[in-house]
Structure 1
Amino acid sequence: MNHTDPAHPGKAVREECLARHGLSVFQAAKLIGVTRQALNNLVNCHCGISPEMAIRLAAVFGGEPEAWLHLQMEYDLAHAKERLAGLDIAALSASAMNEQQARLF
């Protein structure tokens, strides 16, 4: 990864939610309604933000669930692009696309 890649969203949760409010993982997990281990996995970048977690984070710390999910999507997309950078694929030409569509119908 290079310096322009987005940080894992767990880092934002750790810094912007827990640290900013002086909360331990245990305290924040209780507020959010998840296990300590589930939140620990997120803030230590071992798992991502699920839609359910995004709703919980938004309810407790503010923002919209979509904003929390957007952080996760940016992170996932950056890593997928990096993993697939050397993939040998090419765009389907218009004539090949028409041929494929004709076969389907």
Structure 2
Amino acid sequence: MSRGRYKMEKLEDYRTRTLDSYLNDPTFGKTFRDILKFCATPKTKDEIEQYIEKDLGITYEKYKVFAGYFIGALEASGGLRWDKDSRKWVATEVGKKAVS
């Protein structure tokens, strides 16, 4: 797959893909795993977006994928959840176990 283009899946695929399929994705599997490890402690959306763009080097200009895609995919697949008390994103127990 070309580095400059990442073919996005259809919306129904996005909602039904498993956490394992994201973690083993040939283009972004490592990115998904790194995000879950980063979110072992609660993080704001801004912190996650900065981590993805600055630390992991995944930018829209380079890959045509927004950082929010990763948050949404991990939430939909059960790896990440919104913590109402801290108002931050945090890896679920399943997500933590998947990358341990």
TM-score by length of 2: 0.25
Q: Identify the structure with the greater strand proportion.
A: 2
Higher relative contact order (CA 8 A, sep 6+): 2
TM-score by length of 1: 0.24
Of the two, which has the highest radius of gyration? 1
